């Protein structure tokens, strides 16, 4: 066990302890005795200092040409590549995901850096003809100001990158509030931004508890935008506080993603997708497959195949290259998953495999939950409606394609979705009729790429899309500019009409 790392806040280019001095610690979820890091339990005073720094820096940063701003982000991408292995090992120890997935988490950050940096030389606006002669009209993107980025622990590098990189290229300054479970990952990431040479105050980091630091940031009158990824419950609070002052807010929240397997599907392929979608990252992705909607003709066969494959999954610490399913992030989440199993049993679902906290051998030292399949689930059950965020998948039997789509849509969420079929007509009909921000045809519900829009419909989000070019609409405001070069007053809607 190595010595715990001491994390600090990063405000106005300086590494600082919290003014009130209290600290918290993060632990290895595969070995709860191992403290990974201590970090400041910041208060409103630290938030205030970060907001002042970010506001001041904004007045300079917004005037740096976008291609020059983007060069810093490009440099961050290079440094992320340099430190990829070190970061992946840290993710493994602090968040718990298997090492290959941890490398993927960093890779997503690298991809996002190069994609966002290239946008610095575009940030396209529009020109549009005016209705008046000798008048020019254009629409340009303007930065918004100080952005608070509140991020979860499940992608401790990728998700902060999705937010911070486009925010900075667009000319905003940033205050990053990472999840309490992954402060060391966040600190290393901000060290990299600092090493890239960003001017003081452009990127700030404030550690602490969501209820304290997150809330103070969201409510602060000089924070102009909040970008939040997390639970729907917290997202609703964030949204309502922002609503009081019409603060810009981008919310990415829960999912209850389903994979449909039709009777004509390639079952081996659908099986690979289901196992990866449901149990990858131990089901702790907002895009995780938590429902499998199976056509009655293949239900029995597919269920047997799934059970067999699930029984062979190797649970363990993420640092072990043989591990396929890592730990659950903390005790609270582990208990939450366990409670959903009690609910499932009480509702009449059948636990086909798994269903318990795993404690065999070394697993006892961490927070592990057995990969679990719930059978005989009906669409109204809570386990078919609520996000569990663990390695638990619910099987629902259907008689037809139409029923499959209707059950898939029957939740308050709408993030990711998937259908396995060889029928092109059904594939396109599904693409049209599924109510979700993302639909995969013959692929699992996880695995979004950074250069495409990411987000969901219904209660998954509030209409925004991160990633892709759509993220620019989150981090900029449109300004419409009219230039009248006629030298006289031209009255729109009046002087050009008889």
How far apart are alpha carbons 70 and 115 in whole angstroms?
10
| Nearest residue (CB) to ligand UN1, 190 versus 448 | 448
Contact 425/401 with Cβ under 8 angstroms?
no
Task: Confirm if 373 and 364 have CB atoms less than 8 A apart.
Answer: no
From CA 344, how far away is CA 265, in angstroms rounded?
A: 28
SS3 419: strand
> How far apart are CB 436 and ligand UN1 at their closest, in Å?
12
Minimum gap (Å) between residue 196 Cβ and ligand UN1: 23
Is the Cβ of residue 170 or residue 288 nearer to ligand UN1 in the bound state? 288
| Cα separation, 199 vs 179, whole angstroms | 25
**188-214 burial code (b ≥16 CB/10 A, e <16):** bbbbbbbebebebbbbbbbbbebebbb
In angstroms, what is the minimal distance from the CB of 129 to ligand UN1? 41
CB of 314 to ligand UN1, least distance (A): 21
Residues near ligand UN1 (CB under 6 A), total: 10
Q: Residue 117 belongs to what H/E stretch?
A: helix 99-119
Secondary structure element (H or E) that encloses residue 392, with its range: strand 392-398
Compare residues 173 and 460 and give the one whose CB is closer to ligand UN1.
460
397 DSSP assignment = E
> Which CB sits closer to ligand UN1, 155 or 340?
155
Interaction of residue 374 with ligand UN1, rule CB under 6 A: no
Which are the catalytic amino acids? Answer: 252
Q: Which tokens belong to 334?
A: 């582990």
Closer to ligand UN1 by Cβ: residue 155 or 475: 155
82-121 footprint of ligand UN1 as x/- string (CB under 6 A): --------------------------x-------------
Q: How far is the CB of 155 from ligand UN1 (least distance, A)?
A: 5
Is the distance from CB of 238 to CB of 228 less than 8 angstroms? yes
447 near ligand UN1 (CB under 6 A): yes
Complex with ligand UN1: residue 154 or 290, whichever CB lies closer: 154
Q: Does 154 bind ligand UN1 (CB under 6 A)?
A: yes
Pick from 11, 147, 317, 446 the residue near ligand UN1 by CB under 6 A. 446
Instruction: Please identify, among the stretches 42-50, 85-93, 125-133, 446-454, the one whose residues bind ligand UN1 according to the rule CB under 6 A.
Output: 446-454
Among 42, 259, 287, 319, binds ligand UN1 (CB under 6 A): 287
Answer yes or no whether residue 286 interacts with ligand UN1 by CB under 6 A.
Answer: yes
Distance from C-alpha of 108 to C-alpha of 159, rounded to nearest angstrom: 9
Q: Quote the least distance from Cβ 287 to ligand UN1, whole Å.
A: 4
User: CB of residue 388 vs ligand UN1: minimum separation in angstroms?
Assistant: 13
Q: CA separation (Å) from 198 to 23, 61, 166, 190? A: 27, 10, 14, 10
- Would you count residue 54 as binding ligand UN1 (CB under 6 A)? no
- Cα–Cα distance measured from residue 316 to residue 326, given in angstroms and rounded to the nearest whole number: 5
Q: Which residue is nearest to ligand UN1 (CB)?
A: 448
Task: Single out the segment in contact with ligand UN1 by CB under 6 A; choices: 197-205, 283-291, 388-396, 403-411.
Answer: 283-291
C-alpha R_g of the chain? 24
Specify whether the CB–CB gap between 375 and 350 falls below 8 A: yes
Q: What residues from 186 to 225 belong to the interface with ligand UN1 (CB under 6 A)?
A: none
What single-letter DSSP state applies at residue 361? Answer: G
Question: Contacting ligand UN1 (CB under 6 A), which of 72, 114, 155, 279?
Answer: 155
438: its two tokens = 């993302």
Task: Please identify, using beta-carbon distances, which residue of 31 and 154 lies nearer to ligand UN1.
Answer: 154
- Nearest by Cα to 70 from 126, 122, 134, 118: 118
Note the residues at the interface with ligand UN1 (CB under 6 A). Answer: 108, 154-155, 229, 285-287, 446-448
């Amino acid at each position: 066990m190595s010595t715990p790392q001491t994390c600090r806040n990063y405000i106005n280019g300086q590494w600082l302890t919290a003014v009130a001095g209290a600290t918290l610690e993060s632990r290895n979820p595969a070995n709860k005795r191992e403290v990974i890091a201590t970090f400041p339990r910041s208060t409103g005073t630290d938030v205030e200092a970060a907001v002042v720094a970010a506001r001041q820096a904004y007045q300079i940063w917004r005037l740096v040409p976008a291609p020059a701003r983007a060069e810093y982000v490009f440099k961050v991408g290079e440094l992320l590549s340099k430190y990829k292995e070190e970061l992946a090992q840290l993710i493994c120890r602090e968040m718990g995901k298997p090492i290959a997935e941890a490398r993927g988490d960093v890779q997503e950050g690298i991809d996002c850096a190069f994609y966002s940096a290239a946008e610095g030389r575009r940030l396209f606006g529009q020109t549009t003809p005016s209705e008046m002669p000798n008048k020019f009209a254009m629409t340009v993107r303007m930065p918004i100001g100080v952005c608070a980025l509140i991020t979860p622990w499940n992608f401790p590098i990728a998700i902060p990158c999705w937010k911070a990189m486009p925010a900075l290229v667009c000319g905003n300054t940033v205050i990053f509030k990472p999840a309490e479970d992954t402060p060391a990952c966040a600190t290393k990431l901000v060290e990299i931004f600092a090493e890239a040479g960003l001017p003081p105050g452009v990127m700030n980091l404030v550690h602490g508890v969501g209820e304290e630091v997150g809330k103070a940031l969201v409510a602060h009158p000089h924070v102009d935008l909040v970008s939040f990824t997390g639970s729907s419950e917290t997202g609703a609070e964030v949204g309502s506080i922002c609503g009081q002052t019409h603060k810009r807010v981008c919310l990415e929240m829960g999912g209850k993603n389903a994979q449909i397997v039709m009777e004509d599907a390639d079952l081996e392929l659908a099986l690979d997708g289901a196992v990866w979608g449901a149990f990858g990252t131990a089901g702790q992705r907002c895009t995780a497959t938590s429902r499998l909607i199976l056509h009655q003709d293949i239900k029995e066969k597919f269920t047997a195949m799934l059970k067999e494959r699930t029984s062979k999954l190797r649970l363990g610490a993420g640092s072990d290259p043989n591990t396929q399913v890592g730990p659950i992030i903390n005790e609270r989440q582990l208990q939450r998953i366990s409670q959903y199993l009690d609910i499932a049993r009480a509702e009449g679902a059948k636990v086909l495999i798994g269903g318990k906290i795993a404690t065999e051998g070394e697993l006892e030292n961490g927070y592990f939950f057995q990969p679990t399949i719930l059978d005989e689930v009906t669409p109204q059950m809570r386990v078919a409606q609520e996000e569990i965020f663990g390695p638990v998948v619910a099987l629902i039997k259907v008689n037809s394609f139409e029923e499959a789509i209707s059950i898939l849509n029957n939740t308050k969420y709408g993030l990711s979705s998937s259908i396995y079929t060889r029928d092109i007509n059904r594939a396109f009909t599904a693409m049209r009729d599924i109510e979700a921000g993302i639909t995969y045809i013959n692929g699992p519900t996880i695995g979004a790429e950074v250069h495409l829009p990411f987000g969901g419909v219904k209660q998954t989000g509030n209409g925004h899309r991160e990633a892709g070019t759509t993220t620019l609409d989150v981090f900029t405001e449109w300004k419409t500019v009219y230039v009248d070069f006629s030298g006289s007053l031209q009255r729109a809607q009046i002087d050009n009409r008889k």
